[in-house]
Structure 1
């Protein structure tokens, strides 16, 4: 059995191992900045997202005291999406004692998972309202 032999150049300009694979940078990845700084702004260029208190209404349609139902209300088109978002919304509520961190993932509340669920629920509600208005306009 014969093996083909490939010539390898080990000059500084070569890719490292001669296998055509670029040399990996073994330095540590840059450290991520904190999600929130002392002045309330986020560490990156994203808009600042401050912590909400338990008394402040977290979303547009539901609150911690009045969470979304597990089953999609009438008029909601995305039933499975609603059910998944409602379960995630309820799972990622603020902890009972201080109410500043998520009881499930321990991130600053509102955590990313809760915000995604809240956004999806709000979009479902807005779509249902828009569909109801459109149906009323078509009927009238």
Structure 2
């Protein structure tokens, strides 16, 4: 029994792609996924290529690509533009490395503050709260 290539309803398509129907519609609105024509008196049908495209989008998002960047990658999907795809990935990698450096600084600051909190006992000011208040005051003065 051969089923037609474009045989999936939007609900079945969404389930096969592991997303919800609203995601399909959103991707269509963003231009990441074509909207098939609605046959007279019928419902739109999707195919397995559409499922693969949504899975591509989700995989790229898991790597940190924005939907705009995913759109760019989709235009390079034929594989003939590897250097352009590598350039996009290089920018993403730079961003990830910068965020990792920020997270490392945040982790060190929080770790130090938690250690200070555990070291203080009795009726003394909490080092964490005090540090946040100092930062808030500095930020407030900088804005004025």
How high is the TM-score relative to the length of structure 1? Answer: 0.29
Normalising by the residue count of structure 2, what TM-score does the alignment of the two structures yield?
0.28
Larger helix share, 1 or 2? 2
